[in-house]
Structure 1
Amino acid sequence: MKIDHKFSAPHDSDMPFIHPDRPVARFRPLKALHHFRELIKDKEDTAQVFHIFESLPRPGFRKDAKAFVDSAKGKALLASEPHLSELLDDHERLRKMPEGSLAHAYCDFMEKEGLSAAGLIAEYDQFSPRKYGDLLEWYGFRQRDTHDLLHILTGYGRDALGEACVLAFTYGQNPALGNIFIAYAAGLNMKKQSKIKVPIFKAIREAQKMGKACPSISEANIAELLAQPLDELRERLHIKTPQAYLDVHAQFRAGNIDPYDLMGQAA
């Protein structure tokens, strides 16, 4: 199979589970620590996140991916949602879904923040331009491409603590070491730099527990989720109001600290 920079069509019946040229992931914690230090200098430097995940491969990832892609649900999603980014960036289609749905909240968020699924992919491609066109890649890309949906579902913002909480929530669903490493390392950095005592780790643990209680988002039919009323969807997915996170924000503001500039202050 030829490998190029373009992701092969997932409906290709000849697509292997793992391409023979795919290297075995190596566990390199010191490399992960180096890239985290770079990340705290600029929390928008997404490439550092990808480096951290590469350095801290998830045990059992291939086993879980194999079980999913071989399941009836996985095969159905491979056919109906081959490329999530195309669905997520089609705001014209998403805006036709009911008012109050996850789709509308997602469009509002992405447009306000100037984000796109394609933009995240472009950043990933700069980090890792080589594609293998295998099912393991397709499974992993679903986890990457649903990240911004998790911000909407959970209510966590794009501040430093909000990003840490989203990663802790993701760890509850997908126990990749990179998720929990960044979440708690960021929490420790914020705690060291904060001039007031706030329950940062409580917020992160709360997010982790919610993620574990919630059915896997990356393994769900995303088109169906997008069409559902956001409040009802949160209740069905066991996602509660992130009270500890909101408490930290309130305490920061009471102490004249902007929670959206906290990582910048830390750096």
Structure 2
Amino acid sequence: MTHSIAGAQIDKPLVARRDWGGAFAALRKLMANKHDTEQVFVIMSALNADEDVRLYKRLLTSRSGGQVAYRRVELAEKLMDRTWLERFEPDTVGGVYRAFLDATGYSAEGLAEISQAGASDMHAEHPYVWMGRRTRDVHDLWHVLTGYKADEHLGEASLVAFSFAQLGGWGWAAIALASWLETLPGGLSNPQGQAIWEGYRLGRKAVWLVGEDYEKLLGERLVDARRRLRIGTPERYFAIPQAVRATSLGQGKEHETTQALLSA
């Protein structure tokens, strides 16, 4: 079925069936190559069938979510505006995000392009699809808010666990679980696995970040924003040396449980 929404074509139902086979195929590719970011969006599209609907309805009931939904700001457009980003002081969320972009070479535009490859309907003019873009565009901002490094395997895995706690959805759950299972060769006390679990717990304790007014949030001092949003310090994560955090989870070993999951 094709839906026409304000000039944009959606070639599938807004609430589609979950594609478990496609998700596990993408998950295998992602676990084989953690830099294949496109597979993340393939997994999300396959498994988070009705999550944007649920998140949008929750947004409308949150403290300032009605105003956020009414304004429907496209965060990617704001975050690609270097002149706008330059206005923020170095110690603000916006200033630290600007430094993050300079250090990593990442961009909101690049993230949007990758997501479009994984889900063809991302540009549609519809509130639910806008919610999907919003949860995509806050990803790198959440790196800044939480402190998890974007260029590390463990940093991404821990933020995925944090995101699952914040957003729910089978897509985030599948990636977080697969990442955690990769650490099991070292036993349940493996520091990497504990850091991923810590990310989930911190996500549960934090304020629901999707409902925040990010234009205002970027002007807050980072330390103040973390305190207000109840984002705790990932102590187990930072206790692991950076060189270890950057290596493949489980030090390149694949646990038999992970193999069974990915070959289903």
- TM-score tier by shorter-chain length is 0.7 to 0.9
Identity of aligned residues (%): 29
Q: CA deviation at 1:20?
A: 9.6
2:247 pairs with 1:261? yes
- Deviation digits for residues 18-37 of structure 1, max 9, x if unmatched? x7953532223343222111
Q: Out of 132, 143, 149, which is 1:140 matched to?
A: 132
Unpaired runs of 5+ in structure 2?
Answer: 254-264
2:175 matched to 1:189?
no
Whether the 8 Å contact between 1:50 and 1:124 is mirrored in structure 2 is yes
Corresponding position of 2:67: 76
Alignment CA distance shift 1:150-1:186 (3 Å): same
Give distance in 2, aligned partners of 1:38 and 1:238. 35
Q: 126-135 or 36-45: which moved more?
A: 126-135
Query: C-alpha displacement at 1:187, in angstroms?
Result: 2.3
* Partner Cα separation in structure 2 for residue 200 and residue 263 of structure 1: 7
Q: What amino acid sits opposite 1:188 in the alignment?
A: L
In the other structure, the counterpart of 1:12 is none
1:174 to 2:176 alignment: no
Q: Which position in structure 2 is the counterpart of 1:234?
A: 226
Q: Distance in 1 between matches of 2:45 and 2:12?
A: 17
- For normalisation by structure 2, the TM-score amounts to 0.82
- The correspondence for 1:127, drawn from 118, 127, 137, is 118
Q: What is the TM-score with the length of structure 1 in the denominator?
A: 0.81
SS of residue paired to 2:83: helix
Decide which of 151, 161, 164 is 2:143's aligned counterpart: 151
Residue deviations 1:68-124, cap 9 Å, x none? 347783442245452101111223222212331011110111121111111111111
Map of 1:54 onto structure 2: 45
1:40 aligns with 2:26: no
When the two structures are aligned, how many residues end up with a matched partner?
A: 247
More off after superposition, 161-170 vs 41-50: 41-50
- 1:21 and 1:35 map into 2 onto residues whose CA distance is 20
Question: CA offsets, 1:219-252, max 9 Å, x none?
Answer: 21001110001011111111121111122x23xx
Change (3 A) 1:111 1:80: farther
Residues 89, 121 of structure 1: CA spacing in aligned structure 2 closer, same or farther, 3 A cutoff? Answer: same
The structure, 1 or 2, with the larger RCO (C-alpha pairs under 8 Å, 6+ apart) is 1
